[in-house]
Structure 1
């Protein structure tokens, strides 16, 4: 089963929270989603592999894996409500992945320097 998801970069999530705090209505729910970042979990893993210069290999699923999968094959949110408050995504999927991997690399270098 292909599980489609909408992905958001963490900075966009934070800006959405601030937008709702400043402009939203108390007690209401707001979805946030990047309309350009809808892909399956496998496609997302492959995209991360491309940016990290890694080959992503998928194992065959067994019965336990299939049973533990989400029963919701498509979890793509509609963010029109929060967009009416003035929120929009600032990072596309590629920018988010690239920035995340760069940040992780810097962190790993810093930790390695401290422990050497």
Structure 2
């Protein structure tokens, strides 16, 4: 019921709408569980990836896959960040980023996008 409605609302939300939704959720339920905070954080990250041409982010095992609308965008992204993730590669219109066993997807992407230290 309510949990599914919240997930759907987060998925549909844009930047300002997402902030307002998060504030309304906190007002209604109080401190958010870490899982719910993670959903909001992932959506904010997805929104920040749109200008780079990323259409979706998927996690599969110890691999993070960034899907792009075009192969050229994936190649450009990989060229820009190739030194930051060991063994990153493109597969058609996607960039495949290997993760360490204990690495969280949000941490990897946040580090990558902030241009901080090497994340491999």
Same fold (TM over 0.5): no
Q: Give the helix-richer structure, 1 or 2.
A: 2
Q: Give the strand-richer structure, 1 or 2.
A: 2
Structure with bigger RCO (C-alpha 8 Å, 6+ apart): 1
TM tier, smaller: under 0.3
Q: When the two structures are superposed, what TM-score results if normalisation uses the length of structure 2? A: 0.24
